[in-house]
Structure 1
Amino acid sequence: MLVIGFPTGALQANCFVLATGEGEPCVIIDPGQDAVEPIEQALRKHRLAPVAVLLTHGHFDHTFSVAPVCDGNDIPAYIHPDDVEMLADPLKGVSRESAAFFGGNLEMREPSEVRSLDDGLDLDLAGLKITVDHTPGHTGGSVMFRSGAQEGGRLVISGDTLFAGSIGRTDLPGGDHSRMLSSLQSKVLTLPDDTVVLPGHGPTTTIGRERATNPYLVGLDAPAAPHRGL
């Protein structure tokens, strides 16, 4: 699997491009602020053809470039229905302080085609099998994307649900700490330790490392249930 990642915008949100290899179709995940040019550079360098944009949640630092990327390549955007309103109203999901920072005005629009993500949905895009896990807490429509690498490895794009050493904040509009804890228990801690985590901000990590060292996960027991991993 080819994985290209780079931080975007003032808040350094990670954007990812996934493909089975060079010269193949690809999916783009979380095209944030100032993401159009680096995405185009990655597509040219690796000879990739985008087929869809996937959004882990609706916050503008992860979605700001979704309309130009989607409409410029004639591809759909996928987002959970609970966060779709933020595509046209990006200040809906931010704090008063953040809104004031942008002068109370941050203009975005929905791309031409928007499709819904639901919990447990299995997507077959660009030759990749991707499973959607609804993980409300950071926002009501937060999701993670699970996929299996050709080498047999496991990958999860966690958005702002899980970071290296931390988790997403739950004090913004739409955030809910109790739902976040439930998501961590049922959707994160049930993943195998060797699962590689590509978070919405910061460096790559693994589920095993976070299970052992992340202060928000240590002592948070996973439910007794069969393993759900790929």
Structure 2
Amino acid sequence: MLGIFKEKLFNAPKELKSPASLSSCTKPKPSNEIVNDFMSSNSSKAFSMCFGNDALLAYSPSNNNSTHQRLFSGLDDIYCVFMGGLHNLSRLNKQYGLSKGTNEAMFITEAYRTLRDRGPYPADQVLIQLEGSFGFLIFDNNHRTVFVASGSDGQIGLYWGVAADGSVVISENLDIIKASCAKSFAPFPTGCMFHSEHGLMNFEHPTRKMKAMPRIDSEGVMCGANFNVDSQSKIQMMPRVGSEANWATWG
């Protein structure tokens, strides 16, 4: 999986970008070079999709050596890449009125679309219902928004970083991220979700803010940041009333 999004679509935390990238022997790469690296390192079944000059998704199906399955879904200009598996998928499909053959990527797409359009059910309450190991990336081309989430068990590792042109790069492939973003990258925090319009949030502790902690690599150089729940903080919650509340309501 690979997602690349220009800054105007994806306003990543400023702590993700490390000044050490400027002096590193490995320089951040431009977006087109990152895509070429991804395509050349994956199977012939890999494909990429460009959405103007602002967003790109690339996907390669699972292979025999994959520990976790990878799935892709596209519906009504909403595109989802899902990795892992949900133990309670059958119950979730029934709850949402979906057919038994609906896989995880299709379910996440349908749940996102339903909650975006019909609310009012907060996103953290949707994700807390997902049982299993998962990581997913959604790009909503209609609304030009990006949504990323990683399960709390940490079995599906996602990474994010900053490319040479300031675009945000997201992938489960650490080698791609390291080669693309130099020192400006970090693991995507587990148990968290990021919405391009609303920022980073822990869906298990939605009333707490996230705190950036400097991340030092094996060379002793600052390398992006880890983001943890700040137990001393509290987010002021807005009352969930009215028909305008929707998926973008983060608490």
TM-score (norm 2): 0.29
TM-score (norm 1): 0.31
The structure whose RCO (Cα within 8 Å, separation 6+) is larger is 2
Bigger Rg over Cα: 2
